[in-house]
């Protein structure tokens, strides 16, 4: 086994060798603790029959741990300055492809088809750049990719919001947007001391696992997301008030909305944050004929 990249000494050596300076604007906080990396990777349940997709390899700290456990690793890195570094640090491994690309612009489906067609089990594992956590997750979730799970480090507050249950402060349209696709759980809290440089927010690892059965099957997905956003637009208002003020012509549809709510046994005085994802599904389906 090769010497770990993610020790403070080796990381400093690598940074010095390449004269690398961190770009805060790219969310560059590198992991420098091999135990934390092993722990993250253990939550992905990888075998040599699995492929891992990584966003932002940095200098390869997590990438090499993935390469040891998975059959193949594909990593997307936006920062061109890191390419020669990765070429060097990852040279002991022959099962890693680094792609120089902004993950938000990458055609991930084509990359999977071209590079990972031998793998049925595909998992995303990443220490995400925090400034784009939500767009990255939503892109990977909404593109219909054949991904079993995602094990992703992010700001703790975002991990809490994504995994939140109804009637909690953290529960909102982001919880529903993600939980619609995958089951969400926080599996690790991570101290700031394991990063270089240390971020000034707390971090956590979120595990998302694809539902075997979706929690709701809705008639119109776009409308379902529109309804959840509307219901949370002003958290202190009732569901009825938010629906009326947020949906086009909502004010003039009060009676129809009330009848629709009664038909699925939802009290119009409830707040959006008390509704489960299943209730939002029913709500979207009964409101659809009124607004579409
Ligand atoms: N995986 C490394 C580690 O754990 O030490 C680095 C993680 S660091 C938090 C985030 C990495 O994502 C950086 O290498 C950064 O350059 C890269 N990155 C930032 N924005 C990106 C984007 N839009 N697409 C791909 N990579 C990005």
Q: What is the mean pLDDT of the chain?
A: 97
Question: H-helix or E-strand containing 8?
Answer: helix 8-17
pLDDT value of residue 119? 98
Q: How far is the CA of 77 from the centre of ligand 1 (A)?
A: 6
What's the 185 CA to ligand 1 centre distance in angstroms?
22
Place 258 in a pLDDT band, splitting at 50, 70 and 90: very high
Domain ranges, ordered by start, for the chain: 8-210, 221-291
Atom of ligand 1 nearest to the CA of 31: 5
Which position has the token pair 């703790």? 156
Nearest CA to ligand 1 atom 6: 58
Q: Output DSSP code: residue 271.
A: -
In this predicted structure, what is the pLDDT of residue 14? Answer: 98
Regarding an ipTM greater than 0.95, the answer is yes
SS (H, E, C) 155-192: EHHHHHHHCCCCCCCCCCHHHHHHHCCEEEEEEEEECH
pLDDT at 112 over 90: yes
Looking at residue 204, its pLDDT comes to 98
- Using the 8-state DSSP alphabet, how is residue 80 labeled? T
pLDDT at 246 over 90: yes
Ligand 1 mean position, distance from CA 113 (Å): 23
Nearest CA to ligand 1 atom 5: 30
Report the 10 Å Cβ neighbour count for 92. Answer: 11
Kindly give the number of the ligand 1 atom that is closest to the alpha carbon of 103: 24
Supply the pTM of this predicted model.
0.96
Does the beta carbon of 153 lie inside 6 Å of ligand 1? no
Instruction: Please give the pLDDT value at position 37.
Output: 98
Q: What is the pLDDT of residue 292?
A: 83
Q: Give per-residue burial for 35-60: e unless 16+ CB within 10 Å, then b.
A: ebbeebbebbebeeebbbbbbbbbbb
pLDDT digits (tens, 9 = 90+) for 215-227: 999 999 999 999 9
* Mutation choice for ligand 1 from 21, 56, 203, CB with most ligand atoms inside 8 A: 56
Ligand 1, atom 3, lies closest to the CA of 30
Q: Report the percentage of the chain scoring pLDDT > 90.
A: 96
Q: How far is the CA of 162 from the centre of ligand 1 (A)?
A: 21
Cα–Cα distance for residue pair 238/235, rounded to 1 Å:
8
- What pLDDT, in 10s, does the model give residues 150-174? 999 999 999 999 999 999 999 999 9
Percentage of the chain exceeding pLDDT 70: 100
Q: How many angstroms does the Cα of residue 119 sit away from the middle of ligand 1?
A: 24
Return binding residues for S-adenosyl-L-methionine.
29, 31, 56, 77, 102, 127
User: For position 1, what pLDDT does the model report?
Assistant: 65
Q: Which of 11, 21, 26 to mutate to test the pocket of ligand 1 (most atoms within 8 A of CB)?
A: 26
| Predicted confidence (pLDDT) per residue in 113-124, tens digit | 999 999 999 999
pLDDT-derived band at 251, boundaries 50, 70, 90: confident
Q: Which segments of 26-153 does DSSP mark as H helices, in order?
A: 34-42, 61-69, 82-89, 108-115, 133-142
**Homologous superfamily of the 8-210 domain (CATH):** Vaccinia Virus protein VP39 (3.40.50.150)
- At the topology level, CATH places domain 221-291 in Helicase, Ruva Protein; domain 3 (1.10.8)
Q: Write the pLDDT tens digit of every residue in 195-243.
A: 999 999 999 999 999 998 889 999 999 999 999 999 999 999 999 999 9
The preferred substitution site among 129, 192, 194 for testing ligand 1, maximizing ligand atoms within 8 Å of CB, is 129
Asked if pLDDT for residue 63 goes beyond 80, the answer is yes
Residues 6+ apart with CB under 8 A from 55: 75, 76, 103, 124, 126, 128, 129, 136
The confidence score (pLDDT) of residue 214 equals 87
Domains 8-210 and 221-291 share a fold: no
- Residue found by looking up tokens 């394991």 in the block: 194
């Amino acid at each position: 086994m090769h010497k770990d990249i993610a020790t403070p000494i080796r990381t400093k050596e690598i940074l010095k060798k390449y004269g690398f300076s961190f770009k805060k604007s790219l969310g560059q906080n590198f992991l420098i603790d091999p135990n934390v990396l092993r722990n993250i990777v253990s939550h992905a349940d990888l075998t040599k029959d699995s492929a891992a997709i990584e966003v932002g390899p940095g200098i390869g700290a997590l990438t090499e741990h993935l390469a040891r456990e998975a059959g193949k690793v594909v990593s997307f890195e936006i920062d061109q300055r890191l390419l020669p570094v990765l070429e060097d640090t990852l040279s002991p491994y022959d099962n890693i492809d680094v792609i120089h690309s902004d993950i938000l612009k990458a055609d991930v489906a084509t990359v999977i088809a071209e590079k990972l067609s031998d793998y049925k089990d595909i998992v995303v594992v990443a220490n995400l750049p925090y400034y784009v956590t939500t767009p990255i997750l939503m892109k990977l979730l909404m593109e219909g990719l054949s991904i079993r799970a995602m094990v992703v480090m992010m700001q703790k507050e975002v991990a809490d919001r994504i995994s939140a249950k109804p009637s909690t402060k953290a529960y909102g349209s982001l919880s529903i947007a993600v939980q619609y696709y995958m089951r969400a759980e926080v599996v690790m809290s991570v101290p700031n001391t394991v990063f270089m440089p240390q971020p000034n927010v707390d971090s956590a690892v979120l595990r998302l696992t694809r539902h075997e059965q979706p929690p709701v099957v809705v008639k119109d997905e776009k409308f379902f997301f529109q309804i959840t956003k509307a219901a949370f637009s002003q958290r202190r208002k009732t569901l009825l008030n938010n629906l009326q003020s947020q949906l086009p012509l909502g004010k003039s549809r009060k009676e129809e909305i009330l009848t629709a709510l009664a038909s699925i046994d939802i009290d119009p005085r409830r707040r959006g944050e008390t509704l489960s994802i299943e209730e939002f599904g029913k709500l979207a389906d009964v409101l659809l004929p009124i607004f579409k």
